[in-house]
Amino acid sequence: MGTAIVLLAVLSAVGLAVRSMVKDKKAGKSLQCGGDCKHCGGHCH
């Protein structure tokens, strides 16, 4: 029973992370840079 609960928690965390990455990608943010050009020297776009 404990294994199932831990598995559900891990799957939920992975699902949320993937969802966030897809949402950021659709918004035009790079996975490497994050779109904050003042911190990466302006090489974003």
Q: What is the mean pLDDT of residues 27-44?
A: 62
pLDDT per residue as tens digits for the range 1-26: 999 999 999 999 999 999 998 888 78
Check residue 9 and give its pLDDT: 97
The band of 42, judged by pLDDT with boundaries at 50, 70 and 90, is low
Q: What's the per-residue H, E or C state across the chain?
A: CHHHHHHHHHHHHHHHHHHHHHHHHHCCCCCCCCCCHHHHCCCCC
Q: How far apart are CA 11 and CA 39, in angstroms?
A: 33
